[in-house]
Amino acid sequence: MRIEEMPATIVAEMVRRGDLSAVDYVSRILERAERTEDRVNAYITLLKDLALKRAEEIDRAVGRGEDPGRLAGVAVAVKDNIAVRGVENTCGSRILKGYRPPFNATVVERLLMEGAVIVGKTNMDEFAMGSTTETSAYGPTRNPWNLERVPGGSSGGSGAALAAGSATLALGSDTGGSIRCPAAYTGTYGLKPTYGAVSRYGLVPYANSLEQIGPMARNTEDLALLYSVIVGHDPRDSTSLRDSGAHLARIENVDPAKLRIGVIRELVEEPVDKRVAREVWRLLHKLESMGAEVDEVSLPLVDYALPAYYIVAMAEASSNLARYDGTRYGFRAPGATWEEMVVETRTRGFGWEVKRRIMLGSFILLAGYVEQYYVKALRVRSAVRREILSLLSRHHVLVGATMPIPAPRLGERVKDPLLLYTMDIATVPANLAGIPAVSVPAGIVDGAPVGAQFMGPPMGEPLLLGVSKLCEEATGFRDRVV
C-alpha cells in the first residue's frame, strides 16, 4: 500500500510506535499534492513549511518517549472557512483575501492537541454557497476520478484532496449538504453531525442555524477517529450541546439482522437519476442479503424542504455577510467617500452567486415579506423535523441517494441557479431537522462515484457510523486514491 493510501488509524499507530517518520510521511503527502494540484486544484493554500516543521516536532516528541496523540503525524486538510491561526482564511472569496485570523477554531485546537499535521486550506464554493466548488474566486476544483467533472461542493476541495491522496483526513462544513455532496462524488465518507455536537467557533458563518463542521475520510474507522477528536461541548459556541461528547464518537456494532432501514421513496425515484438510484438499490440489496429489513417510506414534505431551506439560508446569509465592508479586514477597494468604498468593495469582492443570495436574503427580510416567506419557511422546517422523527421512530435509519444526479461536468449546472439549487434536494432535510447524516460510496456512474445517504436520530452518530461500516463491508469501497 502506498503511503498516500494508508488509513489514518495505521499512520498514527506507526508514528506513535516510531515505525514511521512523520516527516517522511508528510513529505510524501506534500509531494503528492504538488504532483496533482495543477490538475485538481484542491487547495487554496498549501502549508508545506508549517507542515514539515510540525512533523519534525512530532518525531522529536516520539523520540523523547512522548505520545503525540490519537492523530500523531496524520495529514489533515482544513476547509478554507475554518480558522487556522496566522494562515490566510479566504472562504474562497476575494473579499477575504489577506485575512489571517489571530486564533484557531476549536476543531483546529483539538486536531493540534491530538498531534495532527495541517497540510493546507482547501478550495470551496465562495462562502460555502454552491454544490460544485465552481464559485470559488480561486478557480474550480476538479474531480480526481474524472477531471471533466466537479467534485461536489461546497467542501469540494476537501473531498478532492482525499481522493487525490494529498490528505489523509479532511474537515468540511455542511449547511445543506456541503460535506455529503463531495463525499458522494469523490468516493469518500462524510458525516454531518447532529446540530450542536461539534463546535462552530472559528467557522466563518453562512447560515448559523443550519451549518455544522464535520469529518471526511476514505473509510469509516478514519471518519470515526476524526469525529472523536472534534466532537464535544465548547463554551465559546452558544449553539454547542452540553451533552455532546465521546459517547457520540464510536462505531456501534450493528447487527444487520436487527436493522430496520426506511428507504425514502422520493429520494430514489424521480427526480433522482435512474442510474444513481440503481446503485443505491444495489447497496441496499446487499444489506438486505446480510439480514437487514428494508422498507419503502414516504417523506412528502421533501418538495417543500428545498425552498424552505434556501429561504432560511439566504436570510441568514444576508445578515452574516453584512460585516464584509472593507473597513476592518480583507479586501478594500478605493473610493472617494466611505459609502463609495463600501459599495465598490462589495461589488468587486463578492462573486455573482454570493451577491444573488445576499439580495434574495435581503428581500426575504424586508418588512412585509418576513411573514410571507421567512416565517412560513420556519413552519415548514418544523414540519420536516416532525415528519422525519416520526419515520425514525419506526426505523433505525432512513436512506436515499445523497445526490440526485451523477457528478456534473464543469459548467453544466453552475450557470443556472435553479439547476444548481435542485442538486440539494436530498441533503437539506437533515440540516432543517438538525439530525446527523452520513454519505457512503454506493457505486460508479459516468466515471465518478455516487453515494447513498443515511439519516439517523439526534445523537445517532454511533449508529450511523455502524451502518457506514456495514456498507463498507458490503461494497469493499474504501481507501480509494486515484
Going by C-alpha positions, the residue among 383, 385, 379 that lies closest to residue 433 is 385
Half-sphere exposure of residue 265: CA atoms within 13 angstroms, side-chain side: 8
The residue type at 109? E
Contacts of 359 (CB under 8 A, 6+ apart): 318
Half-sphere exposure of residue 300: CA atoms within 13 angstroms, side-chain side: 1
481 pairs with which residues across the strands? none
Cβ atoms within 10 Å, residue 337: 8
Ordered strands of the 212-217 beta sheet: 43-46, 117-122, 75-79, 169-174, 212-217, 189-192, 437-445, 448-455, 397-401, 260-264, 293-297
Instruction: Look up residue 403 and give its three cell numbers.
Output: 445526490
- Triad 391, 197, 319: Cα angle to 5°: 95
Q: Is 79 a catalytic residue?
A: yes
Going by C-alpha positions, the residue among 218, 242, 260 that lies closest to residue 396 is 260
Residue 131 burial (C-beta neighbours within 10 Å; 0-12, 13-18, 19+): buried
**Out of 131, 154, 166, 228, which one is annotated catalytic?**
154
Instruction: Look up residue 256 and give its three cell numbers.
Output: 444487520
- Rounded CA-CA distance 156/318 in Å is 23
* C-alpha of 383 from chain center: 25
- Rounded CA-CA distance 145/313 in Å is 31
Half-sphere exposure of residue 314: CA atoms within 13 angstroms, side-chain side: 26
How do strand 117-122 and strand 293-297 relate by DSSP bridges?
unpaired
**Out of 136, 155, 166, 178, which one is annotated catalytic?**
178
Residue 417 burial (C-beta neighbours within 10 Å; 0-12, 13-18, 19+): middle
Q: Is 178 a catalytic residue?
A: yes
- Rounded CA-CA distance 477/456 in Å is 22
Going by C-alpha positions, the residue among 177, 183, 189 that lies closest to residue 160 is 183
Instruction: Look up residue 6 and give its three cell numbers.
Output: 494508508
Report the catalytic residues.
Answer: 79, 154, 178
